[in-house]
Amino acid sequence: MLSIDSGNGLVREARQIVSPNYDDRPPGCDPNLIVIHGISLPPGEFGGPWIDQFFTNGLESDAHPYFRDIAGMRVSAHLLIRRDGELVQYVSLSKRAWHAGDSCYEGRDSCNDFSVGIELEGTDDAAYMDEQYERLASVIIALRRTFPSLENAAIVGHCDIAEGRKTDPGPSFDWQRLHALLKDSG
């Protein structure tokens, strides 16, 4: 069972890599949405230091042709779940990570203000790993147990809050499987 320090917003079991790409949530704005993303760098490749470097502004633009277009972007996520289930935290859960971009959920713009962003190392068209689903379920359970505002929070894909702009986590993500894992645990 994962444990989250509600005081500092850190997941004790996560490898901590501090991203500079965050700021404070608006006053009185507690997170009440969980956003699932998919990421691979370079696209379609897994492993390596690239995601960590991207979220900490250290991505070398000449390390891969794709990186030339994204190296200057300033983005982050609260958490990343690697293919083997490893959990990495970049931003405190009490802060606003820069993961959603131009976004809207149920008429509310700027989803970064009120969401927790969880990246899964993967692509829209490759199956996610068993370890990732298990870790994701354990993260969501810990979030709901630790933060009252997330107890009944919706869980959506990046594609659901940035329609037409984003497609992740993609059709390869098994929503029914995630919901079954969450139901079985609670």
Query: What is the residue extent of each domain of the chain?
Result: 4-15+29-41+76-185
Please compute the mean of the pLDDT values over residues 80-92 and round it to a whole number. 98
Average pLDDT over residues 2-31: 97
User: Whole-model pTM?
Assistant: 0.97
* Residue in the structure block whose two tokens are 């959506």: 156
* H or E element at residue 4: strand 4-5
185 has a pLDDT exceeding 80: no
pLDDT-based confidence at 174, cuts 50/70/90? very high
Band the pLDDT of 46: cuts 50, 70, 90. very high
Per-residue burial over 172-186, b if 16 or more Cβ lie within 10 Å, else e, is: ebeeeebeebbeeee
| Host H or E run for residue 139 | helix 130-146
Answer whether 71's CB lies under 8 Å from 61's CB.
yes
The CA-to-CA distance between both ends of the chain, in Å, stands at: 13
Helix, coil or strand: residue 181:
helix
How many angstroms separate the CA atoms of 41 and 26, rounded? 31
Does the active-site annotation cover 119?
Answer: yes
For the segment 126-133, the average pLDDT, to the nearest whole number, is: 98
- pLDDT at position 1 is 86
Measured on CA atoms in the order 65, 170, 56, 13, is the torsion positive or negative? negative
Question: Quick one: 4-15+29-41+76-185 is in which CATH superfamily?
Answer: Peptidoglycan recognition protein-like (3.40.80.10)
What proportion of the chain, given as a percentage, has pLDDT over 70?
99
pLDDT tens track for 51-82: 999 999 999 999 999 999 999 999 999 999 99
Q: If you average pLDDT over residues 118-141, what whole number do you get?
A: 98
DSSP structure string for 64-104: STTHHHHTT-----SEEE-TT--EEE-S-TTEEES-S-S-E
Tokens 């891969």: give the residue. 64
Catalytic-role residue among 119, 121, 151, 163: 119
